[in-house]
Structure 1
Amino acid sequence: MGTPDGADTAWMLAAFALVLLMTPALGLFYGGMVRSKSVLNMMMMCLSAVPIIWIIWVVVGYSLAFGPDHGGVIGDPATFAGLKNLFGYFGAGGSDSASMPLVGTIPALLFVAFEAGFAMVTVALIAGAVADRMHFTSWLVFAALWSLLVYVPVAHWVFSTPGLTAEHGGWIVAHLHAIDFAGGTAVEINSGASALVIALLLGRRTGWPRDPMRPHNLPFVMLGAGLLWFGWFGFNAGSTLAANGAAALVVANTVGAGAMSMVAWLVVERIRHGRPTSFGAASGVVAGLVAITPSCSSVTPIGALAIGAVAGAVASYAIELKFRWGYDDSLDVVGVHFVSGVVGMLMIGLVASSSAPAGVDGLFYGGGFDQLWRQAVAVSAVLGYALVVTAIIGVALKYTLGLRAHRQHEMDGIDDGQHAESAYDFHTPRGGRVDVGPRH
């Protein structure tokens, strides 16, 4: 309880808006990658994560993720159910009072909204693996179940809640002491592993990999990547929950990792395929941002460049594994988000510096293997949990509602089959004339 700090609150209001932007930005990024007959469906899958998550978050999701700890596994479902005990302490005329619930120095309700944005974009990330072929109703049910059964428990394991409860988080953050500042496990590895499972359960797109399935709008992809980068400053620097020097370092690291990863991806692309591409540039930026998400508070700007370089190079190879191993991850969620998330988590154990806010040294800074094994355990635990529980959800839906859209919808275009809409109207009125409006 207390009075919110004005500067920290103002920054976190902006950070929340930036994080919320990331879900529609992801829809634009993914929407440009699919064929023109699937773009609306992809954007709908991403945007639908916003209402689904918010409803679950308000009712019980936040309380399970950030309520008082039960055995390091889950939060108490009743403490903040319906967001009770988190608002309503106002003074005369609606002004802030000295008895307002706080998380750190900001209103607790603002922290609730900020963390909901994380859950929204995490669910939306999975949509990229099932593009062109998942039934929309099944997607909505899957998104709700997955967020409650997979995201919420892992968020409790990984994230802490300063100053609101006596117990500040689950077993990974409180007992294992692995570092995951803004969601390398809960967001990136969680979504990437789950994307692989649901893609395997759905099966390949009709015609893949025989038929070319090229991005229909690369400017969309580039714009989406730019907006994601913009939103990522709220995602990473906002996780400091304060307008301070730590947030400034996180901003610098987020710029550096995204920039270096883009360069590394394009260098690899130029060497292997002869030309750097805009698609590769956008993908490289995202790979670097993914990798710096868990590590942005634990490395110096030089460390961030190293993480970006490794993420961009490794992910540019990883996206081709689906052709070798035969799984149809439509938009490379596994190759970019899962692989780069693992890179970011493990490199904390190598290039973390005690001069950064997290205050630990990795192997290359004289810290030995202590932090590296903690990071590896966290990665393995979240990977295993996400694979198993997502498989259970997916199999249950496959044999009840069904996962896959009708084959004819896939052939004709899932936009028309699932939503009775088309993103682009190329119809020309009879006679070939186009009405351009009144002439003056």
Structure 2
Amino acid sequence: MTAEVQGAEVGRDQSNAVGDRWWEDAVATCSTLIRMDTQIGGPGERAAAEWVATFLSDAGVGSELVESEPGRSTLVSRVPGQDPTLDPLLVQMHLDVVPAQPHEWSVHPLSGEVRDGYLWGRGAVDMKNMVASVLTVVQERVRGGRLPRRPLVLAFFADEENAGVLGAEWAVQHRPDLFEGCRTAIGEGGGYSVPIRPGERIYPIHTAEKGWAALELTARAAPAHASRLYDDNPVRVLGEAIGGLTHDRFAVHLTPQVEQLLRTACELGGVAFDPDHPEAALSLLGTEAGNAASGLRHTAHATRLSAGYQSNVIPGSATAELDCRYLPGRWDEFRAELDAALGDGVEVRELARTAGLAPTADGPDPALFSAASQALQSEDATARVSSFMLSGGTDATHLQRLGIECFGFNPLLLPEDLDFWSLFHGIDERIPVEALHFSTRVLDRFLDLY
């Protein structure tokens, strides 16, 4: 199912160009997007995609809306560049968000409220902030006749928060023509500031991300009366197996992406990096240490448990679901470590799996890193960029199947005491207003340089 939304000729109405502080419009745009209920399973994805299509059409950009299922809407737009011989840059984003419980929040998660210098609401961080910045930049450029250096393909995906099955994965399988010519993409997951010490900041750009798998563990035995001595109780067997999944059961694996981040942090922090003990450098990263630590190991966490039907009956089975994040390209290694940690008392069944984002053999595109560095330094003279590995997952795992090299670059200058990573899928999700302004200006500069 597709729909065309046509825009007028590029640059048709320069008299409508926004004012000198045009980047401030990103806050109102982001607030509007937050107020649209695009929680997983809700009705809002198509409404949000149609709103974005209208926004772009008003600026002079046409779009195509496609659906994997009714209401599961993905929007793709193309923006001309100054040099049409250059490969278009794919800017990949998503409009869906994870659910939020209003009673847990300080403000309503769909309010889009500005308070205490922050814009609050579900999606403020993940990732309606980047959607708003990109829309604001495109609007200002197209209306003013100031095209980006290269053509752009803007993708606003559905279903990213549910592994992208009905969004990016579907589009890659059924509509690869939407991304014709794209060899490089930027999206969420990197580009935000990590303070090392006063006056020293790293902006990590993710060039790899862990794969994801959902596994089911089951322990079985004959049901029995709960008064018995019964060492084979499936609940106990399963609990002991899950208890083996502590971090120290998974070995440290220093990948080139995490090593570069830690080496850069050590250089700026004035200490030596020890590759034999990379965890010693994590403290230099402050609130980002936990995120970086996840990139040093495979991880597996129990997220669902099920057993029993009567309090005085030992059940015949007990089941747990694991959320697993493994280093890309190392599934067999992960399974060997996992099986060793679990022991022999449980059955393991794979429910679903993605490959993650594997780094390119030749290393990341130096032209993109150079453009990102220059764009950041135009707003923050101290900015240093570095590769790193994202411990979460994005739609990049699907886009790489088309040979597209994907980077996490959503530039944000953040307060030093803000635990930014904890806000992803967290309570009281919010983005600093000034960080949103910064992001919009940096992305605008980046489109002149890359």
TM-score by length of 2: 0.25
**Higher percent of residues as helix:** 1
Q: Which of 1 and 2 has greater Rg?
A: 2
